[in-house]
């Protein structure tokens, strides 16, 4: 247990956690702002379209469209403060709850999307960490007693669990038959046929993959290796980054074969805890300071 504790609480720069707060919070902010018009349209649908899920089950029926937009706008404002690190201990949990509610409410009007689950869980996790000890407005450095490494490992662990659950779901759904590629081949064919019939865009490499069963078999095996092997990311370092590139490649392949997008990992945000992202933040700060010095001189 002592060795486990030493590993979990191994030190990490406060700036790395702060940069994760800024990057992931900014992504969440833009995502919510981009969803507001869609939320307004969904909220105006007839009440019999409303199928509450998750925390939205707390309400007996759909909310007024104006209230839905107001909650989303308030969530966006809270997320902006989250990014800035303002009154973080109060603002961050409220921003996380607002994000959870807003994206869950969107899922209460039809198909339940799981593309945003990891984003919401990462924001919730950041909200209970000392992610605003540095690079925050109105905050003087006050080092956390437990350090910052555990918070970054928590983000990695949450991501790893989601991939493991995805791998387990595939095995529960298809068992060992998943490995021969036929199950995936049928899934790709049906999904792209539905898109073609409904006038949606067919995936770029769908036909090519369907004509190469051996490639699909390899893809199925690699998918399970990436998903079930996700806990290896907790080792961090080069091993963790190799896994991250493998997981990113999986999402790229899903886009190319089924035109299904998981933006949060596809744009790399889900894997940021595995990289020294504070270097980017420091580079930006140095550039801003340099520009400020030139303007003063």
Asked if 178 and 136 sit in the same domain, the reply is no
Residue 220 domain-assigned? yes
Q: Counting Cβ atoms within 10 Å, is residue 225 exposed (0-12), middle (13-18) or buried (19+)? A: middle
Residue 155 domain-assigned? no
Residue 168 domain-assigned? no
Asked if 142 and 177 sit in the same domain, the reply is no
Sign of CA dihedral 127, 130, 135, 140: positive
Write out the chain's pLDDT in tens, 297 residues.
Answer: 888 888 899 999 999 999 999 999 999 999 999 999 999 999 999 999 999 999 999 998 999 999 999 999 999 999 999 999 999 999 999 999 999 999 999 999 988 888 899 999 999 999 999 999 999 987 666 777 778 999 999 999 999 999 999 999 999 988 888 888 888 888 889 988 888 888 888 888 888 888 888 888 898 999 999 999 999 999 999 999 999 999 999 999 999 999 889 999 999 999 999 999 999 999 988 888 888 878 877
Helix axes 65-84, 14-43, angle to 10 degrees: 170
CA distance 207 to 70: 44
Residue 160 domain-assigned? no
User: Under a CB-based contact definition with an 8 Å cutoff, are residues 274 and 19 in contact?
Assistant: no
The confidence score (pLDDT) of residue 112 equals 86
- The structure tokens 């104006």 sit at 66
What DSSP string runs through 130-190? TTTSSS-TT------TT-SHHHHHHHHHHHHHHHHHHHHHHHHHHGGGGGGSHHHHHHHHH
Measured CA distances, 107 to 19, 35, 64, 87, 259 (Å): 29, 12, 16, 30, 20
The confidence score (pLDDT) of residue 145 equals 73
Residues sharing a CB contact under 8 Å with residue 102, sequence separation 6 or more, in sequence order: 32, 35, 39, 71, 72, 75
Six-digit token pair at 286? 């140095």
Asked if 111 and 178 sit in the same domain, the reply is no
Asked if 118 and 182 sit in the same domain, the reply is no
The confidence score (pLDDT) of residue 204 equals 83
Residue 231 domain-assigned? yes
Asked if 26 and 138 sit in the same domain, the reply is yes
DSSP-derived 3-state class of residue 227? helix
- The structure tokens 């990992």 sit at 265
Six-digit token pair at 98? 């607002």
pTM confidence score: 0.93
Asked if 190 and 135 sit in the same domain, the reply is no
- In the chain, the number of structural domains is 2
Six-digit token pair at 103? 């994206």
Asked if 200 and 297 sit in the same domain, the reply is yes
Asked if 35 and 85 sit in the same domain, the reply is yes
Residue 189 domain-assigned? yes
Asked if 226 and 180 sit in the same domain, the reply is yes
94 Ramachandran zone, left/alpha/beta (phi>0; psi -120 to 50) = alpha
Provide the residue range defining the domain that includes 222.
173-297
């Amino acid at each position: 247990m002592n060795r486990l504790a030493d590993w979990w609480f191994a030190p990490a720069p406060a700036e790395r956690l702060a940069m994760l707060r800024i990057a992931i919070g900014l992504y969440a902010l833009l995502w919510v702002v981009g969803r507001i018009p869609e939320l307004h349209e969904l909220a105006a649908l007839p009440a019999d379209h409303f199928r509450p899920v998750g925390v939205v089950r707390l309400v007996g029926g759909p909310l007024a469209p104006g209230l839905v937009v107001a909650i989303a706008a308030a969530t966006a404002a809270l997320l902006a403060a989250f990014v800035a690190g303002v009154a973080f201990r109060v603002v961050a949990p409220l921003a996380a709850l607002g994000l959870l509610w807003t994206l869950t409410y969107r899922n209460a009007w039809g198909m339940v999307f799981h593309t945003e689950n990891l984003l919401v869980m990462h924001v919730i996790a950041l909200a209970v960490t000392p992610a605003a000890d540095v690079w925050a407005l109105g905050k003087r450095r006050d080092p956390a007693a437990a350090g910052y490494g555990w918070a970054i490992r928590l983000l990695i662990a949450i991501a790893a669990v989601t991939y493991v659950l995805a791998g387990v779901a595939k095995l529960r759904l298809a068992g060992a038959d998943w490995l021969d590629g036929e199950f995936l081949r049928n899934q790709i064919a049906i999904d792209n046929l539905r898109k073609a019939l409904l006038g949606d865009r067919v995936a770029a490499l769908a036909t090519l993959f369907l004509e190469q069963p051996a490639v699909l078999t390899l893809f199925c095996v690699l998918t399970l290796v990436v998903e079930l092997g996700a806990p290896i990311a907790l080792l961090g370092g080069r091993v963790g980054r190799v896994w991250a590139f493998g997981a990113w490649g999986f999402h790229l392949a899903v886009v190319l074969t089924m035109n299904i997008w998981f933006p949060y990992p596809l744009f790399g945000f889900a894997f940021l805890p595995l990289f020294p992202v504070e270097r980017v933040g420091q580079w930006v700060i140095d550039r801003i300071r340099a520009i400020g010095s030139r303007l003063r001189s």
